[in-house]
Structures are given as C-alpha cells and as structure tokens.
C-alpha cells in the first residue's frame, strides 16, 4: 500500500553535537519520548497509517526503531545523504499520489487536514515569526506563495516555512534525477513562479530541536 506520509530523519544533527554523536537527532527523547515517536503519532492522528521514514546518520538505530511499527518503512540513504529533495525522490515509488511531509526533528501541532484540503501541487505550513527571519516566505491575500527568501521571487520576513507540507507526487518531477537535492531549492523554485504553491498559516505550537539550547528548552517545557 502506498504511503501518505514521509518523515525526514536522515540529517546529521551537527548543531546538536555531542548529543548526536551516539544517537540520531530524531531519536533524542523529549519528555522521555523519542521525537520520532511524537512525529509518528502526529501523522497517524490524521489517518496516515502508511509512513516512509528516511535515515542516514546512525541509520541502524532508525531501522531498529521502525522494525516493530506496522505500516512504517525505513529507507536508508547510503553512501551519501540525499537531502530533502533527494530523499523524497528516492522514496517516490513508495509514495501515494499525494502525501504529507514532516521533519523528524520538529515538534508541532500543525493541522495536516487543513493543508490536505487545499487544492494545489504543493501546500506549505507557514508560521508567523515575531522577529525577522532570513528564510521568509511571501504569501499573497489569496493564499498563493509568491516567493521564498534566497530561493525565488519575493520575500516576507514575517512568515517562515515550518518544514511541514503536502505534496503531489508529480512535484518530484522537478527534483534532479540523482545526487543530493533540496526540495525547496529545486521543486519549489520551479513551481512558485507559476502560482502552484499555496500556504496555510499555522499559529499553534512549533518547536525546532536544532541546538542544545532549544533541545533543553523543549525538555523543560514538556
């Protein structure tokens, strides 16, 4: 059965070292629960039972994590890490015509159904940012993404990409056929100018476990 959710879990976790020298970042616990377990629970709460997870750094641990979870398939990227676009391209034969993508190192309560209901090849969950960000996303009054800072089109530092989105499988046509690639710098760069990317603003919880300080804060808040 084709998967309707993809969890990105192949990153090197360099900013979280030394914590990630022995444990891949998505398996670090928050409140005693591995982040991957939390992310998996999130996508399954929205009915996504068939899930693909990619792995690279300390991949054997991610494989072991997924071994007793029905409906979960772990794809190991070897010998090189493929990036967000390359990882999705690698999983393409296993993915449904439409699927959600969630970062395995982000904790949030994004309404995945709200994204799914939007009719567009790509739908990004965006978050208001109280302070300016360099990776801002410009969204017009009709919900169409008009630009992504440093990538394509206009820029708006008031919104940023949460790492949660819904994609049509055809979006992967715009990812290079081999090697590492970024989904934003390949597919989104191609789709934004023609108005094929839409955005939904998420005002709920969102935590990026990217640095030791952020990780400590997440555990303290749980």
Mean pLDDT of 97-117: 96
Host domain of residue 17: 3-221
Residue 133 confidence class, pLDDT cut points 50, 70, 90: low
Predicted local confidence at residue 134, as pLDDT: 59
Could you tell me the pTM of the whole model? 0.95
Given a contact cutoff of 8 angstroms between Cβ atoms, the answer to whether 110 and 162 are in contact is yes
Q: What's the pLDDT tens digit per position in 61-105? A: 999 999 999 999 999 999 999 999 999 999 999 999 999 999 999
Predicted local confidence at residue 208, as pLDDT: 87
Q: What's the pLDDT tens digit per position in 3-41? A: 999 999 998 888 888 888 999 999 999 999 999 999 999
Residue 210 has pLDDT above 90, yes or no: no
Helix (H) or strand (E) holding 29: strand 29-30
3-class DSSP state for residue 200? Answer: strand
Residue 130 has pLDDT above 80, yes or no: no
Residue 132 has pLDDT above 70, yes or no: no
Those residues whose C-beta lies under 8 Å from the C-beta of residue 28, and which sit 6 or more positions away, are 16, 19, 20, 34, 35, 209, 215
CB atoms inside a 10 Å sphere around CB 3 = 21
Rounded CA separation 66/9 (Å): 12
Rounded CA separation 7/182 (Å): 15
Residue 135 has pLDDT above 80, yes or no: no
Q: Which two tokens stand for residue 163?
A: 């790492």
Residue 211 has pLDDT above 90, yes or no: no
Q: What's the pLDDT tens digit per position in 149-202? A: 999 998 887 899 999 999 999 999 999 999 999 999 999 999 999 999 999 999
Residue predicted with more confidence, 87 or 210? 87
Angle among Cα 76, 79, 83 to the nearest 5 degrees reads 65
Q: Which two tokens stand for residue 74?
A: 């772990």
Domain total in the chain: 1
CATH of the domain at 104: 3.90.550.10
Predicted local confidence at residue 140, as pLDDT: 95
């Amino acid at each position: 059965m084709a998967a309707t959710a993809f969890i990105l879990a192949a990153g090197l976790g360099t900013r979280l070292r030394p914590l990630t020298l022995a444990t891949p970042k998505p398996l670090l616990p928050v409140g005693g629960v591995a982040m991957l377990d939390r992310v998996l629970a999130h996508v399954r709460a929205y009915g996504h039972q068939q899930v693909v997870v990619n792995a690279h750094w300390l991949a054997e641990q991610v494989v072991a994590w997924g071994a007793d979870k029905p409906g979960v398939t772990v794809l190991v990227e070897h010998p090189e890490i493929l990036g967000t676009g390359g990882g999705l391209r690698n999983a393409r034969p296993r993915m449904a015509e439409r699927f959600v993508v969630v970062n395995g190192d982000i904790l949030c309560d994004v309404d995945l159904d709200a994204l799914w209901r939007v009719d567009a090849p790509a739908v990004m969950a965006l978050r208001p940012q109280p302070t300016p960000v360099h990776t801002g996303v410009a969204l017009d009054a009709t919900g169409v993404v008009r630009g992504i800072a440093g990538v394509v089109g206009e820029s708006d530092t008031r919104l940023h990409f949460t790492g949660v989105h819904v994609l049509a499988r055809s979006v992967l046509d715009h990812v290079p056929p081999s090697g590492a690639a970024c989904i934003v710098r390949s597919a989104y760069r191609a789709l934004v100018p023609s108005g094929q990317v839409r955005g939904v603003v998420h005002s709920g919880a969102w935590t990026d476990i990217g640095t030791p300080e952020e990780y400590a804060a997440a555990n303290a808040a749980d």
